[in-house]
Structure 1
């Protein structure tokens, strides 16, 4: 399980905004959008997950230094995040990120979210998660699975983003919706 809805760790989290739930009972009554935001703001478990490695990826765009795609080698959790780039461009972007040491999908989000916010991105939404297996030897990337905390990502959309990435242009990218 992703661990984000466990009653035991909900009571330990600090509430950072009065509009977000602070207890497990509050969470059960929240909308899906607020629940995603709650995950983003309150998962302190991720601070000790050693997911602080620098974000490296592709030079897909030149208006900032946040790569669109960053996939660690092997089979690991990934998240699909949408956001609007800062003015004046205001371009909708979709990010695909996986991390080897991420215990939870939210740990990846907690690494990327501050970077997006600090660069002026808006309308940030975690559009789900799953797993990605990057095999450099076979030049294959396979997208599958789901996130208990954020739901299943649109793997077809993730595939499209990865295929457009210059770094993975020589990879065969596939996806399935049949779990882990």
Structure 2
């Protein structure tokens, strides 16, 4: 079911463990363009960054919200060590602002060590 309110849209949705691609997306309310937020999505099942964006568009009501991909990269998520490392870039969307992703992920995963680098692919 597609999210129909800004509050229904999770800030972060990541796979529990592994290395996978991720993207940042800006979500804007079409009726009130002053309502906007950045979200982070990352899934190992998606081969390309664009696949993650396509899946994200299915999760959010397109009639109510405009979605714009801001960039991407990769995430190494070790749930046993409670560690998340953000790095790299998306060939399709360019690099995400990893410091913004770090901030959102730290809120969504309290008690985790979250770090980032712009190196690597």
Higher relative contact order (CA 8 A, sep 6+): 2
Q: Which runs of 4+ in 1 moved over 6 A?
A: none
Give aligned pairs, total. Answer: 118
Aligned runs of 1:60-71 on 2, under 5 Å?
63-64=7-8, 66-71=9-14
* 2:77 matched residue in structure 1: 134
Unaligned runs of 5+ in 1: 1-53, 56-60
Unaligned runs of 5+ in 2: none
More helix by share: 1
CA distance in 2, matches of 1:96, 1:119: 21
1:78 aligns with 2:22: yes
Deviation by residue 1:32-71 (Cα, 9 ceiling, x = unmatched): xxxxxxxxxxxxxxxxxxxxxx99xxxxx9832x311011
More strand by share: 2
Q: CA deviation at 1:90?
A: 4.6
> In terms of Rg, which structure is larger?
1
TM-score (norm 2): 0.85
Aligned runs of 1:151-162 on 2, under 5 Å?
151-162=94-105
1:93 aligns with 2:37: yes
* 1:171 matched residue in structure 2: 112
Q: 1:118 to 1:139 in 2, by over 3 A?
A: same
CA distance in 1, matches of 2:90, 2:103: 19
CA distance in 2, matches of 1:119, 1:170: 36
